[in-house]
Amino acid sequence: MTGFNIINKSTDLIEVSITKQSHPNGEDGWYKLLPGASSKWTRNGWETVAVRDPKDPNYTRKGWYLDCTSKTVNVGFTDFQLEVEIDWPRAGFNIMNGTTTPVRAFVTINGGAHERFFDVPSDYSNMSKSLWARKGWETLVFMDSKTKQRQGWYLSPEDGIVNIVFHGFNQQLGVSAACEFVS
């Protein structure tokens, strides 16, 4: 199952809701989650994960936009004052744009590519935007947002996180971890 596993690590009852962009038939209402309990939500893409305090008349809320494409992401909620604990997968491609030209990218899923491109960030500061969880050989494709020029590389993260820097079309990729590579 891909999606989110929400874990209430607080000492209070919370309510959780997750959008259903990647799973139109899924539930998206507010659901109660007791302290220490967890709840699995089937999804396969970018979704908004929101938590609110049912005891607060103003419904204090906190939310995150997270990607669960081809993986299950464990989200541990502790407190409205703290950031959520996210257990990211341990294998894949952490991608950034090393040029001034806006580019988009996608990474195949076990050879079953879908042409759903995402903007490539200019740094690794937010893994929810830069990390593509994958194991094994996949094709990484970059596309110029304006000209639609594309270039792809066939790579394997070998069960680890590989940092990738796009340096431009017809240039070598920057690779900062051991990774099998076919240009």
Residue 7, beta-bridge partner list: 38, 76
pLDDT digits (tens, 9 = 90+) for 73-132: 777 777 776 666 666 666 788 899 999 999 999 888 765 555 578 899 888 777 667 778
Q: For residues 66 and 128, is the Cβ–Cβ distance under 8 A? A: yes
Residue ending a domain, among 87, 120, 137, is 87
What is the rounded distance in angstroms from the CA atom of residue 119 to the CA atom of residue 104? 4
Residue ending a domain, among 60, 87, 114, is 87
Amino acid (one-letter) located at 94 = N
Looking at residue 51, the DSSP 8-state letter turns out to be E
Written as six digits, the tokens of 73 are: 């992401």
pLDDT digits (tens, 9 = 90+) for 55-82: 888 878 888 888 777 667 777 777 776 6
| Domain shared by 97 and 78, yes or no | no
Q: pTM of the predicted model, to two decimals?
A: 0.51
Tally of domains within the chain: 2
- Domain housing 8: 3-87
Written as six digits, the tokens of 149 are: 């020029």
